[in-house]
Structure 1
Amino acid sequence: MGLLSRWLTKRAGSEERDDPQATAIVERIVGLCPSLRLARNYASRLLPAVQRTTAYLVRLVDEVPPAREANAAAWAADPYIHAFFATPDDVCPAFNRSHELNVFFNDHPAADEAFAVLGMAIDERHIFGVGQHGEATHTDVAQTTINFSDHQVRVCGESEAALRREIVLRIVDQLVLEGIARIEADTSRQDELQREKALLKTRLTILERQGAGVRSLLGSDASSNFADVARLQAQIEENDRALAQLGLKTEALERHLDVICGVLAAPDAHFYVLKSTFRLDRMNVVVAEGDTRPAQEIEFRLARLPASPEAIRVFSTVRFRRGDFAPARSTLEHAHRLI
């Protein structure tokens, strides 16, 4: 069991007061959505879902390999850093652009290095390239290349253990935000149904009044009027059923808490990590089994982002030294230095 597991794992049968980490996360959640504090027994209802989520996330984070050193020298020595960046000169600029890393070093003046999550977009391309077959060189060889782009450094920590704890907390935050998005969607749907119901009832009233007047007496358009009334009544009943499924507005807080608990109780439905293994040469071309070309087998971890069902990002934990950090100066700062 890793350090993170020992930090977050709940002892069997313990009460809320014996699980301060989970209790702290509950308070973090209601900090994101303060109205949840008004729901009945919010803490005791959230706690089991929080414990389920943290246990799941701890297992995922414990499986992440140790942080890799990221710098220009590592590009030549570490096949992962080599795969992530096209050239050694591309390594440090990706970190220098990070606002979060800049803030971290400013807030921790004694820190010689930072532990961080490096996230990237991955692109698998099928191309025709140059290949060697025996002594002959061909320029139309089908190849698969793996490319990385959009390097981002957003989460930092003083140590690897601190970074892993922060990763868990950030994912919990994102799961809560997904729950809030569902709440907003339900609220919008309820408002839409209420407006629709008002329009349907107004239309029905008009038709019924028409049916009680001269047209009904003379038989003009009576059958079509009755058909319209029946259709509108059916629509109103369908509207009522949809509203009933969403519940009363007076029950909104309880439903909102249930939505958040539902997301946290099933974290694997909203966030998961995939593993993908490739044998890559120095140009990030996939080398098939049995091919004698020099290649390194590399296992990437890909995270599905909760807020973006279609988005998959490769990530790696890294160590970045303060001595390699050279943040770009802002235009305003540069102007002040010239004055």
Structure 2
Amino acid sequence: MGILNWLRRPEAGAHRHNKQEVAELTERVLGLSPRLRLVPRYEKRLGPKVGIALDYARDLIASLPAPREASVAAWDSDPYIHAFFGAAHDVELAFSRSSDLREFFEAAAHAQEAYAVLGMAMTERRTLGVALQGDVMRVDVPQTTISFSDHQVRICARTDSALREEIARRMLDQLALQGLANIAADRTRRDVLERELGLLKTRLRLLERQGAGMRSVLCGEGETDLGERARLREQIEQNGRELGELGEQSGALERQLEALAEVFADARSCISIDRGRLRLSRMNVLLPEASASPGDDLELLTARVRGDPPLVRTFALVRFARAAMLSPMRLLDEAERLL
């Protein structure tokens, strides 16, 4: 590497965004919860964390492989497309059924192809299959087959770079949603604690009123009531401590902004991409790494998004041609054929 190239390299930890971009993304994030704009200096408190998340998202997306061609021809030549779809015709069907892809081509009249994210559910299934062991062909060999289903195409763009930038923005949106979910959980927790506290106090008052009447005069109050009152007071104290940990209602917006900033600062714990290496036969049978059987070595990408429930999807960046889109009538014919 020449000295000039070395000098041009970004320093470790250097930001790959500008203030204007972060400011715009911060406003985009707060569009999901506009009341947070009432917090003093919200831009300075949230903006740097949005910048951290943006750098993480772009680094993660930049590491993804180049988009693959998704077509009938690629089903024969590309081991990834072959593994993802059960038959060559299924490639066109899956993409043609995407309403988002159709809308993209309608809006981009001159685009001859679209760059998109193909999301799928990956399933492992144990079966008994046929395999050659030594010189003997056996029909009861335990095998693991890999299948891909629920093909979805939702994010589309004109170019590879535009697609990656859109994914980064969607990641920031997801982080905002996770932050709002955390805020909602805190509010729900507060509501539960406050209702519980009211019930406990009501129960304690009832017991004390019983002791203040004729029961205490006639010595009718038993050890059970005394013990229950002690437990209730302990529960009320514990409840009060938990409410105190949530803070006062007057500072709710401040805490909500802090909770949102924490999610953006720790983006890697919310969204990650795993790379799993598999060796598959042309029938999608999982082969041992050292297997001499014909197969292809694949590196599959799996996105993991924290949530309730968590989202786990295998995906690939792809290119799909406008000319390969099936007409609505062809799709209807396919649907009738499957009935």
**2:278 touches 2:297 (CA, 8 Å); kept in 1?**
yes
Letter in 2 for 1:293: S
Q: 3-state SS of the aligned residue for 2:328?
A: coil
The residue aligned with 2:95 is 95
The 5 A counterparts of 1:133-148 are 133-148=133-148
Question: What's the CA shift for 1:64?
Answer: 0.5
The question of 1:261 aligning with 2:273 is answered no
**2:15 touches 2:55 (CA, 8 Å); kept in 1?**
no
**1:22 touches 1:51 (CA, 8 Å); kept in 2?**
yes
- CA deviations over 1:226-275 (Å, ceiling 9, x no partner): 32322221111111111111112221111111111111111111111111
Letter in 1 for 2:144: T
Q: 3-state SS of the aligned residue for 1:32?
A: coil
Q: 3-state SS of the aligned residue for 1:272?
A: strand
- CA deviations over 1:16-73 (Å, ceiling 9, x no partner): 9x42222221011001111211122111111121111111111110110001111101
Q: 3-state SS of the aligned residue for 1:161?
A: helix
The residue aligned with 2:151 is 151
Q: 3-state SS of the aligned residue for 1:292?
A: coil
Q: Distance in 2 between matches of 1:11 and 1:291?
A: 43
Give the 3 Å change call, closer, same or farther, for CA 279–255 of structure 1 in structure 2. Answer: same
The residue aligned with 1:24 is 24
The residue aligned with 2:180 is 180
TM superposition score normalised by structure 2: 0.89
The 5 A counterparts of 1:277-316 are 277-308=277-308, 310-316=310-316
The size of the alignment, in residue pairs, is 322
The residue aligned with 1:205 is 205
Runs of at least 5 residues in structure 1 that lack an aligned partner in the other structure? 1-8, 332-339
**2:301 touches 2:315 (CA, 8 Å); kept in 1?**
yes
Q: Distance in 1 between matches of 2:329 and 2:175?
A: 35
TM superposition score normalised by structure 1: 0.89
- Give aligned-pair identity as a percent: 44
The residue aligned with 2:193 is 193
Q: Distance in 2 between matches of 1:89 and 1:176?
A: 39
**1:174 touches 1:306 (CA, 8 Å); kept in 2?**
no
The 5 A counterparts of 1:49-64 are 49-64=49-64
Q: 3-state SS of the aligned residue for 2:26?
A: helix
The residue aligned with 2:240 is 240
Letter in 1 for 2:86: A
Letter in 2 for 1:100: D
The alignment's C-alpha RMSD in Å is 2.3
Letter in 2 for 1:44: K
Runs of at least 5 residues in structure 2 that lack an aligned partner in the other structure? 1-10, 332-339
Out of 38-47 and 223-232, give the one that drifted further.
223-232
- CA deviations over 1:62-88 (Å, ceiling 9, x no partner): 110001111101101111111111110
Q: Distance in 2 between matches of 1:204 and 1:320?
A: 68
Letter in 2 for 1:247: G
Out of 105-114 and 285-294, give the one that drifted further.
285-294
Q: Distance in 2 between matches of 1:286 and 1:328?
A: 36
**1:126 touches 1:143 (CA, 8 Å); kept in 2?**
yes
Q: Distance in 2 between matches of 1:93 and 1:308?
A: 31
